[in-house]
Amino acid sequence: MKYYELIDHTADLGIRVSGKNLSTLFSNAGHALFDLMADNSALVADRQKELRLRADDLDELMFLWIRTLLAEFVCESWMYMHFDVSITQQRSLWALLRGHKTVMPQHLLRNDLKAITYHELHVSMRDNVWTTQLIFDV
C-alpha cells in the first residue's frame, strides 16, 4: 500500500496519508511531507532529535506534528528521513527523528510548502486503516 497520494485542491497542495496504526500514520505523514518538498534520497541521516508534542485531539496533534517538521526544514534546514513515532491514548506524541542538515540545491526542491492549514484536516480510521488529509499553502 502506498502511504500517501496527492488529492485535487484548487490553489494549494493536498495529500491523503494512510497507515495501519496511528504511529505508522504519523510516520508516513512525516515521510510524505519531506518527499513533497525535496528529493532526499541521496542524504544520509547523521543527526537524531527527540520530539514530544501534546494536543487536545488527533487532528490538532497531526497539525502540530507537521507544522513542527516543516519549521525544522524551513528555519533550520533539517531534512528528516526516519521517524520512530509513538502515540499515546492521551493524545501525546513522542518521536525520534533522524535526518541531515542541508541546504537543498534548487534542482532538488519539488514544492515550496509555506504552511500546513487546518482546512479539511482530519485524522480518522476506516476499514481498519488510519488516514489523514493535509492541505498545504504553497
pLDDT in tens, 64-110: 999 999 999 989 999 999 999 999 988 999 999 999 998 877 767 88
- Rounded to 5 degrees, what are φ and ψ at 38? -165, 165
Of residues 31 and 90, more confidently modeled: 31
The hierarchical CATH code for the domain 4-137 is: 3.55.10.10
Domain boundaries, the chain: 4-137
Query: Is residue 84 helix, strand or coil?
Result: strand
Three cell numbers written together for 131: 488516514
Q: Which of 5-9, 71-75, 105-109, 119-123 has the lowest mean pLDDT?
A: 105-109
Q: Which of 9-18, 75-84, 120-129 has the lowest mean pLDDT?
A: 9-18
**Cα 79–44–103 angle (5° rounding)?**
40
Q: Is the pLDDT of residue 1 over 70?
A: no
